[in-house]
Every structure is written in C-alpha cells, then in structure tokens.
Amino acid sequence: MSSESGKVKVHCDICNRPVEFQVSQEKIREQKDGILRVALAHGDPIHAIIVYIDKNLRVRGVEVSDSFQMEGTRAETVVAASEVAENLSEAMGEPCFQALYSFAEVEEREKTAFILDKTILRTICESGVICLGKIRQKIAFLEKAMGDRIDLPQIQSVCERYVQEGLIKRI
C-alpha cells in the first residue's frame, strides 16, 4: 500500500474562500473512471462542496453540495486566494486576473474609460483574484442595463488591455 499523496487547492463559491486538502494517489487509482470525488465540509457556518480530481491531481470540477451529514471531526486548511489562482485558471481553462491598484486609484487615472471597462476593472479590483468566467457572471447585470449581450472575447480583450497597461496582472 502506497501512502503517496498530494495537496489539492480549490475555491469554494459558497464562502468565497480557497480550501486546501490532501488526496491519496491510491484512492484515485481505485476509481474505475479515474476521477476521485471528495466531499469537503468546511467553513462557518459549515457547508460542503464536492471536488472531482483526476489521476494527475488536477481539479476537474467543483460542485456545491445540496445537503450533507457529518459525524466526528473534520480538518481544514485555508490558503490565500493568490496561491490558488494558477490551479483555478488551469482547471477552468481560462485566465485569472488580479488588481495591482485599488479601483479608486484606477478610476482617477482612467476618467474617460467606457462603462464596460470600468465595470470589469471594478469587478477585478473588488474580487482579489478572479477568473474570466466569473467576471462574465458578475457583469451580467450590465447586459440588462445596456440591453445588449457582452461576450467573453470582449471581456478578455478589456482585461488584456489592462494587463498591458499594468493595472492588473494575469495569474
């Protein structure tokens, strides 16, 4: 029996915090489909997510658990969001961004920015580390206000311009 294990880091959408836990390679090898499903209880108030991990210890999905029951004790480790950003980006197949300045500092500098640009930048500045898909979700209200659909390439283009200008960084 091998005691080979590795650390896995995921982001919980319920508490909006990163969570780290140990996974045994042996447990993954035992899975017929090669995907280990881990129910992870954590947080205050306590809640659970289900994490899907492949043989390379890559997170293939994270779901919110509808309900759970737990007996005994639990262990949890919370890590800084910036430490998880690269893993999230890889798992989600999309870039993550992090603000280098506060929104107030950027707003002063970018007085003529369009509403979409400012909305994206505010979302990044207020979120710490955020993936492209999450930015898209957070600006959905803007689509309603503008009466127009904002597509992901349009958002990515704005993000890339801000990366080039040094206002945000790509993680």
Question: What are residue 101's phi and psi, to 5 degrees?
Answer: -130, 165
What is this structure's pTM? 0.41
Task: For tokens 């798992």, name the residue.
Answer: 91
DSSP secondary structure string, 80-139? -HHHHHHHHHHHHTS-EEEESS-HHHHHHHTTT--HHHHHHHHHHHHHSEEEHHHHHHHT
Per-residue pLDDT of the chain (171 residues; tens, 9 = 90+): 233 568 888 888 888 888 888 888 888 888 888 888 888 888 877 788 889 888 888 888 888 776 666 565 555 555 555 555 545 554 556 677 777 777 777 666 665 557 778 888 888 888 878 888 888 888 877 777 777 788 888 888 888 988 898 888 887
